[in-house]
Amino acid sequence: MTRSARISHIARAVAALALLGTLAGCDTLNDWLAPDRVDYRSATSAPTLTVPEDLSKAHLDDHFTVPATQIGLGGAPLFTQTANGTATLGQPTAQDPLGMHIERDGDTRRLVVDGRTPEELWSELKEFWGENGFVVETDLPAQGLLETNWAENRAKIGNDWFRASIGKLFDGIYSSGTLDKFRMVVEKGPNGETEITISHSALEEVMIGQQKETSRWVSRPRDPNLEVALLNRLMQKFGLSNTQALMLEANAQPGDPKVSTVSDGGTPELDVAEPFDRAWLRIGVALDRSSFAVDNSDKSKGLYYVRYVDDTQDIKKEGLFGKLLTSNAQPKKLVVNVRPKNDALTQVTVVDASGNFDTSAEAKRLVSTLSAALN
């Protein structure tokens, strides 16, 4: 190649890079002006995430959209037409013309789908997580539990001009340093309805060492905005429009059930001013949002079998990031006993394998954690 040809080749390359920089600059400006987004690694298409006005903006992505499926998979029920022409998976009633509603408990929301059992909705619920970029790792229909894998929100990665242009060719080298997973608790209500709650767990990578030469993963607070946004997205999968989902959220009736801590002879105890069925669900959700994992449960006996866990142990060294510390320590297993005192009051205690009250430090810690979560 002659000297003049080389100069011409370099000039064209510089011009191309300049053009990429200009275009990327526009994209970056648009990103600065756009709302926060969610973009999990394997997400392809999904409805827009929207949060209610009383909560701050979650990390949302407004370019996902998917129409409601008219016939569910695996024997799921057909959608029902409402009076205004909406196709809804719930059964419309005079009280719930859209076939579903939202109940509020502090910053926790529950989606109640009328006239449908958990068994009827299960395949749709599993499909929902796949559509939103997750793999279902725990699938326990008998216990009403779905749990996703840990996934990275790629929208949290800065989108400077280099990544927006050339960097996307090597996108895997970028990391937000955060991971999210979700647990969905599905319960059958007293009148045949299905109650759905979503719980968020999160990890954050932090640098350690004198020279910040290595890293470890630590828990970070749950984001109730993501939980609400995903419930809104679920309502859209079940046939509602974004406007209708927001309307149900706005019309949610707040509840303020009282939870008191009782100590009887050194035995830690919680009294929940609710019937057993409602208290059972609330205790399960509170456990999901704590550092205690539910290994098993038996509602007929009012028992949750739990253990304290370090969230970082759920991600293996050979996984996506491969920088986690592990431990062989076996946490103590605990049994949470939920039983009715009367029709309007439920008692919560920790018992041992023999059914005797557990007064250990771990039991007291668990009751304290539940009290804080429920209040």
The residue with greater pLDDT, 262 or 323, is: 262
Would the pLDDT of 144 be above 60? yes
| CATH assignment of the domain containing 282 | 3.30.310.170
**Residue where one domain finishes, among candidates 254, 276, 299:** 254
Whether residues 146 and 242 fall in one domain = yes
Assess whether 78 and 194 both reside in one domain. yes
Tell me what the mean pLDDT of segment 192-217 comes to: 86
- pLDDT > 60? residue 105: yes
Whether residue 22 is found in the same domain as residue 80: yes
Q: Does 54 fall in a domain? A: yes
Give the pLDDT mean for 362-373.
Answer: 86
Domain that holds residue 182: 8-254
In angstroms, the CA 258 to CA 127 distance is 36
Statement to judge: residues 68 and 192 lie in one domain:
yes
* Cα–Cα distances in angstroms (integers) from residue 73 to residues 127, 209, 270, in the given order: 9, 51, 42
Residue at 3 is within a domain: no
Q: Is residue 2 part of a domain?
A: no
Higher local confidence (pLDDT), 293 or 66: 293
Report how many domains make up the chain. 2
From 187, 220, 254, give the residue that closes a domain: 254
Residues 29, 134, single domain; the answer is: yes
**Does residue 187 carry a pLDDT above 80?**
yes
The residue type found at 136 is V
- Asked which of 208, 238, 254 is the last residue of a domain, the reply is 254
Count H helices and E strands in the chain, helices first.
Answer: 7, 16
pLDDT recorded at residue 91? 92
3 state DSSP class of 80:
strand
Q: Is residue 122, in this structure, part of any structural domain at all?
A: yes
Higher pLDDT, 151 or 70: 151
Tell me which range, 97-101, 223-227, 307-311, 365-369, is most confidently predicted by mean pLDDT: 97-101
Whether residues 83 and 194 share a domain: the answer is yes
Kindly state whether residues 181 and 281 are assigned to the same domain: no
Are 276 and 347 contacting, i.e. CB atoms less than 8 angstroms apart? no
Q: b/e map of 286-306 (b: 16 or more CB within 10 Å)? A: bbbbbbbbbeebebeebbbeb
Residues 243 and 311 in one domain: no
Higher-pLDDT residue of 205 and 291 is 205
> Looking at the predicted structure, is the pLDDT value of residue 57 above 90?
no
pLDDT tens for 306-340 read 988 765 555 544 444 444 444 555 667 899 999 99
Alpha helix positions (H), 99-223: 118-131, 161-164
pLDDT of residue 64: 31
Note whether 299 and 157 are same-domain residues: no
The verdict on 36 and 181 lying in the same domain is yes
β-partners of residue 203 are: 179, 219
What is the model's pLDDT at position 197? 92
Looking at the structure, tell me whether residues 61 and 186 fall in a common domain. Answer: yes
* 3-state SS assignment for residue 125: helix
250 with 356, same domain: the answer is no
- The residue ranking higher by pLDDT, 244 or 34, is 244
